[in-house]
Amino acid sequence: MPNSKYLIVGGGMTADAAIHGIRESDRGGSIALIGAETQPPYNRPPLSKGLWKGKPLESIWRKNDEPGVTLHLGRRAKLLEAPDKRVTDDQGHVHTFERLLLATGSTPRRLSFGAEQVIYFRTLGDYERLRALAETGRRFAVIGGGFIGSEVAAALAMNGKQVVLAFTIEFFIIAIGLTGWYFFSSSIQALLYPLALALVELARVPLAIAVRTQKSWNIQFAALIGVCAAVVVTSSTLYQIGELTFSPRRAAVYEKSAALDEAKREKQVYLDQKGQVQAGFEQIDKDWQTINSSYDAQVSKLNNQSAFSRNCTTTATPSTATDGTPRTTSRTSCARDPAFVALEKEVAATKAKRDEAFKARSEWQIALAKYDTTPFDRAVSRAEADYSKATQESPLHSYAAMLFGKDQRDITEGQAAR
């Protein structure tokens, strides 16, 4: 049972890079690799490029001279028992490990037709098979207009083969673009311009092949201009799709944001008005309390002061009693103290002022009590909820929130537009 410190499943470029990476930090730890292909790790890009232009096959091999590395090639890992740290391959060998790396890459999507007649171009074996076919075959169909499909189509064309390239993504882009234009303008005539652009778009891949394969510089240059035009078309179509998809939601966010600002502004205006009335009430309350204290002080002073002056005059009046006996009746009269009278007047005046201030205070108090911020609070809460919902429904705000590490509600117009 082979045991290794590091076990790598997969024999591609990632696996090879991992071997070098491990060796940089661990010079001695044993490394084992299980690879389904029979060749040691090699560079895939030349399979669709350099090898067709005359580069030697030897140039594709990756440097694998690290010590302590065992390659188990032509084997496919079938079973992983992670708790036991074991991998079983398709030949029944069990490999144990301390650390495991899965670098199994990707495989082309298989079609429901063609079976073994179709080459799913990915490996050196696929290259060798296609190369052998290119020796005898004349016409080739390449399915898929991405990088690899275009490169293989160009490579075959460079070798004098007739190539038909089938690709779908452009049709999707064009269909979505045209649908968008139609809904945007609601008229068939408006589709003439995007239709013309679509034709340019469709011509992109053949033009790109022509740039690589044509011998005449003039034709290459013309084809290059066509490719540039197609790139512009693709960008503008994607931009339109983006506009149609994102703009209404972004506009909804701005609308809700404006509504929220307006609700807050209205509440603030109301609060300012209330603040003025509150300030008025506090001032009048203060005045009233001052008058009240001074009134209390005056009343207490008045209560402690005698109303009459101490300089009294006594008058004796002779008179006769009922039995005829003469007698003297004396009467003492005291004048009201002028200081007391003045104070009494002062108290009365202060009382009048106090009553007046109290009345005014009551009026301000009633006016203040009429201010109710509840409707404004509700309006602001509603507007905040609408705004929050709109930002959550806007993809641009979601992306910008992720990008700037902020809450979606805090994304500014400028950040969402970027």
The residues binding ligand FAD (CB under 6 A) are 9-15, 34-37, 44-45, 47-48, 76-77, 103-106, 121-122, 148
Query: What phi, psi does 165 have (nearest 5°)?
Result: -110, 120
Q: For the beta carbon of residue 126, count every other beta carbon within 10 angstroms.
A: 17
The minimum distance between CB 202 and ligand FAD, in angstroms, equals 24
Nearer Cβ to ligand FAD (150/350): 150
Closest CA to 292 of 365, 195, 383, 358: 358
Residue facing ligand FAD at closest CB distance: 105
Output the smallest distance, CB 109 to ligand FAD, in A: 13
Q: Which is nearer to ligand FAD, 140 or 288 (CB)?
A: 140
- DSSP secondary structure string, 259-313? HHHHHHHHHHHHHHHHHHHHHHHHHHHHHHHHHHHHHHHHHHHHHTS-SEEEEEE
Shortest distance, CB of residue 47 to ligand FAD, whole angstroms?
A: 4
Query: Would you say 34 or 69 has its CB closer to ligand FAD?
Result: 34
Write the DSSP symbol of residue 54: T
Tokens of 23: 């060796």
Residue closer to ligand FAD (CB basis): 35 or 145: 35
Alpha-carbon torsion 92, 94, 95, 97, what sign? positive
Residue keyed to tokens 């009693």: 321
**Which residue number, 11 or 194, has a Cβ lying nearer to ligand FAD?**
11
Which residues are 33's β-sheet partners?
8, 71
List, edge to edge, every strand of the sheet that includes 86-89. Answer: 69-73, 31-35, 3-9, 94-102, 86-89, 77-81
The CB density around residue 409, as the number of other CB atoms within 10 Å, is 16
Q: What is the torsional sign of CA 89, 90, 91, 92?
A: positive
Which CB, 121 or 281, lies closer to ligand FAD?
121
**Could you tell me the smallest distance in angstroms from the CB atom of residue 108 to ligand FAD?**
8
Residue 121 CB, nearest approach to ligand FAD (Å) = 6
Minimal distance, residue 117 CB to ligand FAD, in Å: 19
Instruction: Decide if 91 contacts 2 (C-beta within 8 A).
Output: no
Q: How far apart are CA 91 and CA 332, in angstroms?
A: 143
Query: Quick one: 148 or 284, whose CB is closer to ligand FAD?
Result: 148
Q: CB 383 → ligand FAD: shortest distance, Å?
A: 50
